[in-house]
Amino acid sequence: MGKGLFSNTQLKIWKELSFREKWYYIGTAILKFLKKYYLTIIFVVAAIVSCFFVSKENQTVEHYVNACNFKTILCLFILMLTVAALMNIKFFKRLSAAILRKIHSLRALVLILVFLPAVFALFITHDVSLLTFIPFTVVALEMAGQSNKLPKVLILQTLACNLSGTISPIGTLQNIYLWDYFSISGVEFIKSCWPIAIAGYGLIFILCLIEKNVDITPLQNVKRTLPIGKTVIYILMFILAIIAIFDFVKTPRLYWIIVPIVCVVILICDRSAYRTVNYQIPILFLAMFVLGANFQAIPAISNFLQKIMNYEFFVVVGSSQVLNNTTAIVLLAPFTTNIPNFLIASAVAKFGSPLTSTANQMVLTTYPSDLTRKVFVKWYLIAEVGFLAWLASVGLMIIYL
């Protein structure tokens, strides 16, 4: 193996390629990079371009430092880091496997596979929960001889995990931001969003109960013990990350103490966790913070957004279908005048278009079976639109009745 980025064999193959073949592979690599990071690239470029339209008195270091919510970025990072470390020791999968060994009926299996990830999504964010449980769901249904139920289970699983982001302050990336930006209590957050969550969970529960209650053979997974020492350490680090997000003590700010502790401990225990963290998320948030601050500093844009936010429910839900829910929330939050209504709109806006969240895009791109992909995509889109209509009606009743 060579000392550089490529092995000697790879370098030799590269030298043997023709000029045209080299440019083909370079172009392919660039396209893959753009496809993977297109959203981050768009917002980084937009943030940079918007700086040229800001008045000179606002083009200061202080303006951009104040624009960046460093608590959100740092807490997101250590949360992703501790979850990555727990995933590396298969903590979530082994815990889930232990639960599934007790299941004896198809209806119970469907209920557990749908709601177990939703429970985890309350604490580890909905996209991380889905990333953890999609492969596990495929294996569980195969072992139970119920692979034909995969489209239905994954659709309901995705909807349930997205719903967890409506009620948990740490259930989605944007909720962590809103929690700090609006400086509201957990009770206020849940009070605003619980009717949306109850309406959604209730409908999903009914759809699960429609499943035939046939007997299945309990899953016989090989019992594997978790490394006790690392498990305890990682759970403690996860708890510290949650404490940093809630930030009970304001002076000194707890997250400035907790973030270095978590980073050092994970570095010592599992360096590979750093390689699995999605670094484009902090970069994306930085770009959105700068872009949002510039929008506030550009009178034409600021005045326009203030006017249309009189119809904030429709603006938030509509823009999320095109921009992505997280992006719309971060950009529009500074212009809202009604926090409870804004939280309700942000909860409903998680559904509808596949673009609304990374979780939706991830499920569509990682669906494992080519044989049932068309069926899955068809019913997935119908379910998303139907859920949006159902929750939007609930949200509008809460706001206007």
Residue 242, domain member (yes or no): no
Residue 46, domain member (yes or no): no
Residue 58, domain member (yes or no): no
- Name which of 47-56, 193-202, 356-365 the model is least confident about: 356-365
pLDDT given at position 87: 85
Which domain range does residue 392 map to?
90-225+298-400
Q: What is the pLDDT of residues 207-235, one digit of tens each?
A: 999 887 777 766 665 556 788 899 999 99
Above 50 in pLDDT, residue 259?
yes
The fraction of the chain above a pLDDT of 70, given in percent, is 91
Above 80 in pLDDT, residue 260?
yes
pLDDT given at position 3: 47
Above 50 in pLDDT, residue 25?
yes
Q: How far apart are CA 376 and CA 370, in angstroms?
A: 10
Letter string b/e over residues 96-132, b meaning 16 or more CB atoms within 10 A of that residue's CB? bbeebeebeebbbbbbbbbbbbbebbbbbbbbbbbbb
The residues, any chain, with a CB within 8 Å of residue 119's CB and separated by 6 or more, are 164
Residue 35, domain member (yes or no): no
Above 90 in pLDDT, residue 24?
no
Residue 236, domain member (yes or no): no
Provide the number of structural domains found in the chain: 1
Residue 131, domain member (yes or no): yes
Residue 365, domain member (yes or no): yes
Query: What residues pair up with 105 in beta bridges, in sequence order?
Result: 215
Q: How far apart are CA 166 and CA 195, in angstroms?
A: 10
Burial of 363 (0-12, 13-18, 19+ CB in 10 A): buried
Residue 31, domain member (yes or no): no
pLDDT given at position 2: 41
pTM for this model (two decimals): 0.76
Per-residue H/E/C for 142-190: HHCCCHHHHHHHHHHHHHHHHHHHHHCCCCCHHHHHHHHHCCCCHHHHH
Above 50 in pLDDT, residue 72?
yes
